[in-house]
């Protein structure tokens, strides 16, 4: 039997039932039905009123005309773990964030508009943060003040007290008359203010680094930080330290002067070599004393003679009874010289390094280089 046939039979039974009722019972049945309908409608209205009574005025306004809202506490305390949980309400499914949402927490409000954000920024004092809600291209922001935890406030208070104490100590040290005192005396006076003050010493002379506890204070530098006070005392080096420095400088200057004199002397000394097949003649020409020295590679005995003139023109001298002359092959060029003697010998000589020639062939000469 199909559904259509069953429905017809059911409706027929209801119709028969209705026609079999007396007029009085028909009115009673209609009354009961109307009463049930009224009760159902009233219950629905009451339920709606009860639900709406739980909503904030802002939420009611939002449901009525879509006005965006943001409910937040004015102040929120961080817990002992220095974390703040910020609870609030806005339009359901709104995007809510701290600041720009880049470093701060971001969340989405639930179906009732409730949300919670977490803030952790190691604050040291009451800090204002901006909370922003965004919904359907609308947005609004409010400021919430985050209050440090009692534990944090206590720590900050103690730190501030300590900083004030450090400042007081620093001021006390600055007022002291420490100049002309020895380092030992000055340090004792400073640490009389507080034994925690760090006292160090430094020479007031950049060339003298070492100082002693008996050296005299010439300047004072006081530094105060959140961690304490430090004092650096600049000291005048002792006379012995100054003398040591003066002696060192004098020695260094003497060495420089000797080196300069040596180089200057060496500039006026020329060395030449006349090379033969099996030996060579070595010459040193000392313009400082107008003296010429001669030796050979096979016989290291040295002959010497005073000379007159200059190499650009001609010098004349006598070595072991033999009259000789010498001159630059090219005027103004010392690289090649000509040595002649009265026997008619003429030899070409090459310029050599005078220091090397002296060290090899003229060791016994007392020349200052």
CATH fold of 268-361 reads Lipocalin (2.40.128)
**What is the separation, in whole angstroms, between the first and last Cα of the chain?**
141
Q: Please, which pLDDT band fits residue 311 given cuts at 50, 70 and 90?
A: very high
> Which residues is 271 bridged to in the sheet?
284, 352
- pLDDT per residue as tens digits for the range 243-272: 999 999 999 999 999 999 999 999 999 999
Calculate helix-pair angle for 183-193, 150-174, nearest 10 degrees.
140
Distance separating alpha carbons of residues 369 and 366, to the nearest angstrom: 9
**Stretch among 150-159, 171-180, 327-336 having the lowest mean pLDDT:** 150-159
- pLDDT per residue as tens digits for the range 61-105: 999 988 999 999 999 999 888 899 999 999 999 999 998 765 678
Q: Does residue 321 have a pLDDT over 50? A: yes
Query: Could you tell me the two tokens for 150?
Result: 């009692």
> Which residues is 80 bridged to in the sheet?
none
Q: What is the domain class of 64-148 according to CATH?
A: mainly beta
For 110, residues 6+ apart whose C-beta sits below 8 A from its C-beta are 92, 93
Q: Give me the mean pLDDT over the 308-332 stretch.
A: 96
Distance separating alpha carbons of residues 270 and 230, to the nearest angstrom: 65
For 118, residues 6+ apart whose C-beta sits below 8 A from its C-beta are 83, 84, 85, 86, 105
> Which residues is 272 bridged to in the sheet?
283, 351
Can you tell me whether residue 172 is helix, strand or coil? helix
Characterise 228 by phi-psi region: left (phi > 0), alpha (psi -120 to 50), beta (else).
Answer: left
Q: Please, which pLDDT band fits residue 46 given cuts at 50, 70 and 90?
A: very low
Q: Lay out the sheet containing 127-135: strands in order across.
A: 75-77, 138-147, 127-135, 95-98, 106-108
Q: Give me the mean pLDDT over the 44-52 stretch.
A: 49
Q: What is the pTM of this model?
A: 0.50
Query: Could you tell me the two tokens for 42?
Result: 């009233």
> Which residues is 281 bridged to in the sheet?
274, 296
Distance separating alpha carbons of residues 244 and 366, to the nearest angstrom: 33
Of 369, 365, 364, 361, the closest CA to residue 272 belongs to 361
- The proportion of the chain whose per-residue pLDDT surpasses 90, expressed as a percent, equals 72
Classify burial at 183, counting beta carbons within 10 Å of its beta carbon; exposed 0-12, middle 13-18, buried 19 or more: buried
């Amino acid at each position: 039997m199909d559904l259509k046939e069953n429905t017809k039979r059911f409706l027929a039974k209801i119709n028969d039932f209705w026609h079999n009722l007396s007029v009085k019972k028909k009115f009673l049945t209609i009354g009961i039905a109307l009463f049930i309908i009224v009760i159902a409608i009233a219950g629905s209205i009451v339920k709606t009123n009860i639900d709406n009574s739980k909503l904030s005025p802002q939420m009611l306004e939002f449901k009525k005309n879509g006005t965006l809202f943001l409910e937040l506490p004015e102040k929120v305390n961080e817990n002992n773990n220095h974390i703040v949980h910020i609870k609030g309400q806005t339009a359901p499914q709104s995007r809510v964030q701290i600041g720009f949402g880049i470093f701060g927490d971001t969340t989405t409000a639930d179906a009732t508009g409730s949300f919670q954000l977490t803030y952790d920024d190691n604050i040291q004092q009451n800090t204002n943060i901006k909370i922003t809600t965004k919904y359907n291209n609308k947005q609004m922001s409010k400021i919430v003040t985050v209050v440090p935890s009692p534990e944090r406030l206590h720590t900050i208070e103690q730190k501030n007290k300590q900083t004030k104490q450090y400042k007081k100590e620093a001021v006390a040290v600055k007022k002291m008359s420490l100049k002309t005192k020895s380092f030992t005396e000055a340090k004792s006076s400073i640490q009389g203010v507080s034994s925690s003050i760090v006292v160090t010493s430094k020479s007031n002379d950049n060339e003298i680094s070492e100082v002693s506890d008996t050296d005299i204070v010439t300047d004072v530098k006081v530094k105060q930080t959140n961690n304490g006070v430090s004092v650096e005392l600049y000291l005048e080096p002792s006379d012995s330290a100054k003398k040591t420095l003066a002696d060192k400088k004098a020695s260094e200057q003497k060495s420089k002067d000797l080196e300069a004199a040596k180089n200057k002397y060496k500039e006026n000394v020329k060395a030449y070599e006349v090379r033969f097949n099996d030996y060579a003649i070595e010459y040193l020409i000392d313009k400082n004393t107008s003296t010429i020295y001669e030796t050979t590679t096979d016989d290291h005995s040295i002959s010497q003679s005073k000379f007159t003139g200059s190499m650009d023109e001609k010098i004349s001298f006598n070595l072991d009874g033999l009259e000789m002359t010498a001159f630059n092959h090219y005027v103004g060029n010392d690289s090649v010289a000509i040595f002649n003697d009265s026997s008619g010998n003429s030899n070409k000589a090459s310029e050599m390094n005078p220091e090397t020639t002296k060290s090899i062939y003229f060791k016994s000469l007392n020349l200052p280089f």
